[in-house]
Amino acid sequence: MPFDGLVLHKVLKEIKDNIVGDRIKNIYQPIKTQVLIQFSQSFVLLSLKSPSYVILLSQKPNVPIQPANFAQFLRKKIRNGRVINVEQLGLDRIGFFEIESYDQENSTMRKYKLFFELMGRNSNVILVNEDNKVEESLKRVYKEFRPIIPGVKYLPYYDDSQINILEVNIENIENIDYDRLMGFSKKSTGFLKEIGIQRAVKDLKKPYLFYFKEGNTYDFSAITPNNFKYEGLKPSEALLKVFQERANQSRLLEIKRDLEKRVKSEIDRLEKTKEQILQDLNEEKSLMDLEKKGELLQTYLYKIKKGERYFTVTDWNTGEEVTIEIDPLLSPTQNLEKLYKNIKRTKSRVEHAKKRIKKVNNELEYYNQLFETISSAEEIETLIEIKEEMKDIGLISENKKSKRERKVKTTFRKFNYKGFEILVGKNNKQNDELTRSAAQADIWLHTHEIPGSHTIIKSSGKEIPEEVIDYAAKIAATFSKAKMSSNVAVDYTQRKNVWKPKGAKPGMWLYKNYETIIVEPFREIPEKP
């Protein structure tokens, strides 16, 4: 959700109630694009990047010891100044703090306006004096039509010809030109069309933002987000929650990409190894031919003439002629020895390949399963558990920093249907724990030969109906690599028919006496109890 003028209207109302009459204790720049103003009981963060923009904080964030240039300038001009007003220009994304500050150099009281223009990449924080001239800005702008540099007259980037719904007679509005409404983002305009102007005006007078979830993303709105479940939160609380959730989501994606890259690299390595093994296995087809040529060469060795490159004899079993390539530089005996050495090497490669192919296939099954648990992870804590698993198997090296990382333990995904509890593992370690702890009569489900999560239906001593098994199978398919498919095969059996082979990696189990059901995964994850 863009931080539009409607949101700013509510945010400034909250800030105004908290800081008018209060004095500025200090000013910081946490990062280059932010200005943090400290008051006696609170902090106000002015940011040039969404979704933070203007937020009322109760605690001081981390700030550098040495203040940046703009923060130093503001300290000189307005530190210890008193805020006498907080205003917004109409319903636009522009506002200011009016500050009364003592000028020690001239021993006089001066008034300043600290403007904040929240216009995407053109956002800025600008200190303006009582003569309406720019003192300094966070970003200097040298464009001819509207420069923002010290000494020039400040012209706010504001179009007062647009319609402010708080100032017009709503009953007289007909055939609204939505493009001319002040302060409305595209999404807010969409909500407005659904709820109407009168309700929007009532919503703007409420002291909270509507906090809601759209898909997997949390958002906020100043007017009712029709068709979404929502709760009312204080403006700064809503902004901070969205800011934190997006920061967490960004970190989640960063960790996920790193882990996926490591696992994908291992999968690619194993696929290349498998390709080489399959080439060695294909040599088994040529073994019979080599052995037959060895027998024939040994039988007709005396007929080979010196300097021959090809030697043709008749196969006594089939009556067909067989041509054997020989090395004219070697003696007949040496050619026979060379052929048998080749047969021995080929046999050795084939036997070795037969042993390796099973191991490599098991490794590939595990790493594909591991990749799927990373891909479906929804929480940072789940990824940290997966990272621990990758350390255990040596895919990630342990260092001093990783040893200090907080160890976490997450819970299973839980669902309830027709009175039956359904549990789903979030990673391989959880899959192990879930299956080990299940009762023998519980139903265990897993997608057929497709990476996915272990799923358990708790029987609790009751017979589990087919409709519950069908529902749980859909959940198992939803948390699998086949989640975007239409028809997914899911195997199910009682827990007593599932076992873990000795030495198997996390999440790797075998099962027998199972049935298979074809289901369609849920397109949206069902509500948890």
Structural domain span for residue 492: 413-519
Rounded distance between C-alpha atoms, residue 490 and residue 155, angstroms: 66
Say whether the peptide bond before residue 328 is cis (omega within 30 degrees of 0): no
Whether 389 is covered by a domain: the verdict is no
Highest mean predicted confidence (pLDDT) among 17-21, 44-48, 520-524: 17-21
**Residue 173 pLDDT:** 59
Same domain, 329 and 216: no
Q: Are residues 99 and 83 in contact, defined by beta-carbon separation less than 8 angstroms? A: yes
DSSP state of 148: B
Q: Pick from 154, 187, 169, 13: which is nearest to 91 by CA?
A: 13
Same domain, 198 and 321: no
> What is the per-residue pLDDT across 127-155, written as a single tens digit (0 to 9) for each?
999 999 999 999 999 988 889 999 999 99
**Residue 55 pLDDT level (bands cut at 50, 70, 90):** confident
Same domain, 201 and 304: no
Q: What is the CA radius of gyration of the chain?
A: 36
Q: Which CATH number belongs to the domain containing residue 131 in this structure? A: 2.30.310.10
DSSP state of 180: G
Whether 382 is covered by a domain: the verdict is no
Average pLDDT over residues 302-325: 80
Whether 497 is covered by a domain: the verdict is yes
- In this structure, the number of other CB atoms found within 10 A of the CB of residue 419 comes to 9
Same domain, 9 and 131: yes
On whether the pTM is more than 0.75, the answer is: no
**Residue 72 pLDDT level (bands cut at 50, 70, 90):** very high
> What is the per-residue pLDDT across 213-253, written as a single tens digit (0 to 9) for each?
887 788 899 999 988 899 999 999 998 888 888 878 888 88
**Residue 418 pLDDT:** 93
Average pLDDT over residues 199-215: 91
Whether 275 is covered by a domain: the verdict is no
Same domain, 25 and 117: yes
Q: Which one is predicted more confidently, 415 or 168?
A: 415
Average pLDDT over residues 74-89: 95
Q: How many domains does the chain have?
A: 4
CA distances from 131 to 24, 75, 90, 159, 471 (A): 22, 20, 22, 22, 70
Average pLDDT of every residue of the chain: 89
Same domain, 329 and 225: no
Torsion of CA 359, 364, 391, 375, to 10 degrees: -160
Whether 286 is covered by a domain: the verdict is yes
Same domain, 324 and 432: no
Same domain, 188 and 132: no
CA distances from 263 to 134, 242, 362, 497 (A): 55, 31, 15, 30
Whether 253 is covered by a domain: the verdict is no
Whether 228 is covered by a domain: the verdict is yes
CA distances from 472 to 375, 457, 483, 492, 527 (A): 20, 7, 14, 10, 13
Q: Cβ neighbours of residue 203 under 8 Å, at least 6 residues apart?
A: 195, 210, 222, 223, 224
